[in-house]
Amino acid sequence: MTIERVGVVGLGTMGAGIAQVCLQAGFETVGREVNEEFAQRGRGTIDHYLSRGVEKGRMTQEDKEAMLGRLTLATDLGALAGCDLVIEAVIEDIGAKTAVFKELDGLLGPDAILATNTSALSVTDIADVTARPERVVGMHFFNPAPVLKLVEVVRTAHTSDEVFDAAYAFVQRLGKEPIGCNDTPGFVVNRILIPLLNDCVRVIDEARVSPEDVDRAMTYGANWPIGPCALIDLIGIDIHVHASDALAAALGEERMAPPPRLLKMLEAGQLGRKTKQGFFKYD
């Protein structure tokens, strides 16, 4: 099947980044938000990062305008009816996601593919609320989506080979590096990374090491491009805690559960870069 028109539901940090990647790859893209203010904010985010591309010589002003010209904003899910693929990127909450999928199921054509950008929830549970579970996949982009190359393409027990292959090929057309995986808790990256990051945080208190030295240890000792504390600040403490809780509940493994330090930071509203205060302070 051919994918030419793409819908993105939710134009927050992840959704705007996914929409930007689709626009840069030449796809007509419909971005849907709950109201006009949020829709315009999402467009502004895309405009900002495309403008930086112009400033750095990665594209021309004409290229940028052509990309923005392929973007249609909407506040009604019905605007996505003509899309070949819709990628849901709303809040990481099973109720919110299944509500979107139920509505999309009644709006999209029978051949359309539905994808969820979930990082920790069961793709199968989301697919099961539709009448077309064979046409549902996970499509897990990483933040920031325009920069990081990996996309996990997640197959459930219901996903047809045709749909999986089409989703995988679409990710390649975006210029990304897809990996195929099955619908297991945490997929691949988070299953490995979340307990490792949690261990790095526990070292701070158990070994009385500063966040700066933990990050220096992993960048200079393990050749990580970014330290674990700086990475959690970039992801967002709230996002990391949510994913940790979901994996701990699914697997029952203590290492998956968020350390007390992260829970205290969450309670204090110190969420990382987005609040300008996490393990480190940001201007």
Hey, which residues are catalytic here?
119, 140, 152, 190
The number of CA neighbours under 13 Å toward the Cβ of 204 is: 18
Which distant-in-sequence residues (6+ apart) come within 8 Å of 100 by Cβ?
9, 77, 88, 90
Long-range contacts of 91-98 (CB under 8 A, 24+ apart): 91/10, 92/118, 92/119, 92/120, 92/121, 92/239, 92/242, 92/243, 94/121, 94/122, 94/125, 94/126, 97/121, 97/126, 98/125, 98/126, 98/129
Amino acid (1-letter code) at residue 88: E
The answer to whether 112 touches 83, Cβ cutoff 8 Å, is: yes
